[in-house]
Every structure is written in structure tokens, then in C-alpha cells.
Amino acid sequence: MEKIEFGLGLHRLETVAEDAKKAESLGYEFLSTGEHVFFYGPVGNGLIFLAAAAGATANIKLMSAITLVPLYPAALLAKQVAALDVLSSGRFHLGVGVGGEFAKEFEACGVPVSQRGARTDEALDVLKQLWTQDNVIFEGRFTNLPGVTLSPKPVQQPHPPIWISGRSEAAMKRCAKYGTGWLPYMYTPERLASSLQMIQDLGEEIRREEPVSPGLYIFFAVHEDRDVAINMATERLSAQYNQDFSQLVGRYALAGNPGDCIARLQEYVDAGTRTVILNSACPGGYMTENEKLFAEEVLPAFRVSFP
């Protein structure tokens, strides 16, 4: 029997520990946070946020949703992930994305944006080898390892779960080859279902043994007044992504009263998702209430197991 698990995104650097404790007490199974070096507004670093959250919590799992893998030297990222997994006693999950929606950060980091996919794929090879082997020798396009051993290695065996995020066919291929789970964003239920089928087909082609865990990353705004929730989500996402979201919120976000959110979320569950990472799409002053209302009025509808 499968359980539906829910994660909650962290936003405020100055209150990470407090917010992490609150999310754990509300019954969420994951804490998550994304990252950018530079973006349209303030954004933190996922691994640092989650290290602070790890020290403030006991059981809740931690997911970077997502880490911009091509912006890191692969060996350095392997070390940081292993350290965070040790620090959290084996609670860390690595969310992987290639980025590219803000090209200036790639230029600032000295990484050609056109190489982001190739760098990510090679990095995933490097990560897995460093986490599971000793005396690693690797000669790649972007990374050369002259016989090195990472220590300490991650607590989780064989390594922390890897969730591949994205929207493209290339991301699906990456998931089939490297991923523990699939974590798409800005997806309709129909597109989620078709992507899971494609990943399954791609996995069969390469004789993948284990099925991919089906997830979803989605923004949400819940309020007793449906129109208030929709307006909050529209304003927040339009500003965050520097484009008009007035016609997109209904397709790609959970926005409305609790009943609306339950109904829409059920469509995603029916499409196959079993892990839902939620990110508040509302003003900062309403985030606490948004997350609390969702936990109290929406989550109970999904606290059952699915065959």
C-alpha cells in the first residue's frame, strides 16, 4: 500500500529553524527549498537552508527542490550532499534541476548555459561513484578524478534519493537513467500521467530494475474565499516568474478554497503522484496561515493508503 506524502517549501532565511519545526508539527513529511545564485528576487541556497532545518528537526525528511547541479563542481556537490545526509542522520533527498531560466547566473558562475544538461548528466555519474566507491578514477568532459575517496559517505545506502525535476523529454530521459524519483513542475494532471508513462517506457528500454517514484512540485494558495486565493497565487507567481500568470494559475497551481484544492489535488493523485512538494504562492504575511489551513483542511483528505 502506498502513502501520499507532502512536503512544504521553506522561504525565509532568518526563520528557517522556526519554520522547519512548525512544518514538522503540522504533519508534513518533507521540508524543501530551492535555490538560485541570482534571480528576479531574493532566493537562498538550498543546501544551507536545509542544513539549518536539519538541526532544528528530528524526523521530517529534507529535499532540495531543486539544486542547480550544473553550477556546482561535481566533486564539491558530492561532498556537500554527503555531509548533509550525515548531519541529518540520513534524511536528505537531492532534487536535481538544470536551471537556465535566468541565464545571467550561469554567466556569472562561468558556466555556459548551453552546457547545463551535459554537465548535469556527467555530475550525476560522478556523484553516484563518489558516494558508493573508493579510489574513484573518472575522466569526463567536465570532471577528472585521479583516484579519490569521499569520506564520510552518505548515511543512506546506496545513496540519498535523487529526484529529477524538469518539464522536457531530456529531463524524463535523465530521470529514467539516474533518478530515484520524478518531480516535475508546472504540469497538468494529464501531462503528469503521460510523463510517468514515458519514463516507464524509457526505463524498460535501458532495462531499469526499480520503478521511479512519482512526485509533483506545485505552488498553492488556499483560503476560505476562492477568489482571494486565486488572486494571491496570480500576483505571487506573476512577480516570481516575471510573466502574467492570470491564465496559468488554474492549470499549474492549487488555488482556491479547501474543497477546490482537494478536488484538484485528487486529479494529480489519480494521475499517479505519491509525493507532493508544496510551495506557498501568497504574500509573506499569509504564508503561515496558508500552510496551516492546508494542513488542517486539505491534507486529511489524503491520509489514506493507495493500492
Mean pLDDT of residues grouped by 10 in the chain (307 residues)?
90 90 97 94 92 97 98 98 98 97 96 98 98 98 98 98 96 98 97 98 97 98 98 95 94 98 98 98 95 97 71
The structural domains of the chain, ordered by start, are 3-7+14-160 (3.20.20.30)
Q: What is the pLDDT of residue 11?
A: 84
Of 230, 294, 216, the closest CA to residue 259 belongs to 294
Q: What is the pLDDT of residue 304?
A: 67
Contact 306, 1 (CB under 8 A): yes
In sequence order, what are the residues at sequence separation of 6 or more whose Cβ sits closer than 8 angstroms to the Cβ of residue 145?
Answer: 75, 126, 129, 130, 136, 137, 138, 139
Distance CA 228, CA 232 (A): 6
Q: What is the pLDDT of residue 13?
A: 79
Give the residues across from 280 on adjacent strands: 220
Q: What is the pLDDT of residue 27?
A: 96
Angle CA 304–264–44, to nearest 5: 90
